[in-house]
Structure 1
Amino acid sequence: MTCIKEHIIKTSLDLFLTLGFKSVTMDEIATKLGMSKKTLYNHFKNKNQLVDVSSVELCNHVCNGVDEIVDAKNENAIEELYTVKKFVMQQLKSDDASPIYQLQKYYPETHKKITDMQYTHMENCIKKNVNRGIEEGYYRDNIDADFIARMYFIGMQGIKNLNIFPASKYPVNELYDKYLDYHIRGIVTPQGRKILNKITNSNHD
């Protein structure tokens, strides 16, 4: 990928995640880049292509970052989930759910592609996390890692539904914290619950 294309993708993503995938126009992107719209179209034939390429690039970046956190094993399994959550929120600028909602509504093919990529990656990461938590004694040893990974993914997709969880009532960051707490409490041992309570109490300080 050329440096110019990388610059276009980076700048476009910043606008998409701040203002929304539908809201941002090619004119605005070209202006932000300091180039003509004609030059922009030399690299991307239309906005749909730019949205698709930039979304896949973001997904790959987030997945690689999550892999680095998981593979580093610097924390226990419970702490690791909160570190992953914090990293993902930072990358997605997720104080606002509307950009992802716009991607789902106006660019369904791209949204499906990203969702499929996320599922494949998330399933593997959650399985690793569950097995590690069992080894550490923080998760119950009678749980099915594959089932937990699938349920986790379904729940993550569900809380993105603005009709069920309107942003006015459930701020994104707070909602993800609630879901993570819900997920972990269902699988922890008494020892793991102590760690979880310590984390959630510190988050409320």
Structure 2
Amino acid sequence: MTFLETILEETLQIFKKEGIEANSEEQLIQKLDIRESTYNEMFKSKTDLVKATVLFDLETQEREHVRILANAKNPIEEIMLMLQDGLDNLKTINPLYYVDLQREYPDIWKICLDHLNSYSYHQISDIINRGIIQSLFRKDVNLQLVTKIILEQLTMILNPVVFPPDRYNIREVFRSVFLYYIRGICTEEGGKMAEEFFSRINNK
């Protein structure tokens, strides 16, 4: 890991633990334990730091997805492992991270949405399509529509207007929306696999 990647990883952990706006630029420099001159060589502003950190996070997630999916035996397990990873991540992220990102950095939040609509769309669509071919997902599933619904559900879950983090546990919202929806598009065989996976998640 390069020095820049180390700084971005540390920044990401601060943002996800405390929220983006919890610290000023000066406080971040202090917490990162680097010289102000070094910081200024790497980032033009706090917005530039946030953008670099978010892009680093998206790239890291893509590498992690490759690792996760390598352990799956079938498309049901693939999508369930992806959901489980999402649940585990949300458990460790302060909801203020997403609130700050959407409210204070809309252009950077748009990068996240664009990533969903390109990388995530094709990934989910491919998994569901292979599940249909293997008779684990229903053959009458509208592939494009179902993929779009899953992505829109994720955007909805992360919208602080729809689910204010002070009133709702985002991890529980995630579970309630996605786990039951996925089960609904499964065949009988796929549903049994999904139920077994749900049971393992609930017993953790």
Q: TM-score, normalised by structure 1?
A: 0.88
Q: Which residue of 1 aligns with 2:62?
A: 63
Q: Give how far 1:158 is off.
A: 0.8
Range with bigger deviation, 175-184 or 116-125: 175-184
In the alignment, the residues of structure 2 paired with residue 85 and residue 185 of structure 1 have an alpha-carbon distance, to the nearest angstrom, of 12
User: Could you say if the C-alpha distance between residues 117 and 159 of structure 1 is closer, same or farther in structure 2, counting changes exceeding 3 Å?
Assistant: same
Q: Which residue of 1 aligns with 2:96?
A: 98
Q: Which residue of 2 aligns with 1:125?
A: 123
What runs of 5+ residues in structure 1 fail to find an aligned partner? none
Summarize the alignment of residues 9-88 of structure 1 with structure 2, pairs less than 5 Å apart. 9-70=8-69, 72=70, 74-88=72-86
In the alignment, the residues of structure 1 paired with residue 125 and residue 148 of structure 2 have an alpha-carbon distance, to the nearest angstrom, of 9
Deviations 1:80-137 (A, max 9, x none): 2221133345556644322011101100001101210122011111111111211222
Alpha carbons 2:18, 2:94 under 8 Å: kept: no
Q: Which residue of 2 aligns with 1:108?
A: 106
Q: Give how far 1:197 is off.
A: 2.0
Range with bigger deviation, 58-67 or 7-16: 58-67
In the alignment, the residues of structure 1 paired with residue 88 and residue 195 of structure 2 have an alpha-carbon distance, to the nearest angstrom, of 24
In the alignment, the residues of structure 2 paired with residue 169 and residue 193 of structure 1 have an alpha-carbon distance, to the nearest angstrom, of 31
Q: State the secondary structure of the residue aligned to 2:79.
A: helix
Q: Which residue of 2 aligns with 1:187?
A: 185
In the alignment, the residues of structure 1 paired with residue 167 and residue 183 of structure 2 have an alpha-carbon distance, to the nearest angstrom, of 23
Q: Which residue of 2 aligns with 1:4?
A: 3
1:130 maps to amino acid: I
User: Could you say if the C-alpha distance between residues 6 and 99 of structure 1 is closer, same or farther in structure 2, counting changes exceeding 3 Å?
Assistant: same
Q: State the secondary structure of the residue aligned to 1:45.
A: coil
Q: TM-score, normalised by structure 2?
A: 0.88
Q: Moved runs in structure 1, 4+ residues, more than 6 A?
A: none
User: Could you say if the C-alpha distance between residues 189 and 89 of structure 1 is closer, same or farther in structure 2, counting changes exceeding 3 Å?
Assistant: closer
Considering only aligned residues, what root-mean-square deviation do their CA atoms show, in Å? 2.1
In the alignment, the residues of structure 2 paired with residue 86 and residue 29 of structure 1 have an alpha-carbon distance, to the nearest angstrom, of 31
